[in-house]
Amino acid sequence: MQQLLFALVVTVCPAHETCKDVIYEIYDSKQECEKVIYERRIFNGNCYEVESIIHQK
């Protein structure tokens, strides 16, 4: 069975530009990713399976 990796994706909105989603870091588990969001108080971040991001159109 393949191990799932999770990406912490943060939405960045520069002044006078369009907002973009940026991969902040990759983690071995969703729990680890969500822990970083909580500890670093990242309010505009979400954890997604890396596979779902790679195959997104």
The predicted structure's pLDDT at residue 57: 55
Nearest to 13 by CA among 40, 43, 38: 43
Decide if 8 contacts 36 (C-beta within 8 A): yes
The predicted structure's pLDDT at residue 41: 96
CA distances, 54 to each of 39, 48, 49 (Å): 27, 10, 9
pLDDT > 70? residue 1: no
Each residue of 5-52: pLDDT tens digit? 999 999 999 999 999 999 999 999 999 999 999 999 999 999 999 988
Q: With the CA atoms of 38, 46, 26 and 11 taken in that order, what torsion angle do they form, in degrees rounded to the nearest 10?
A: -110
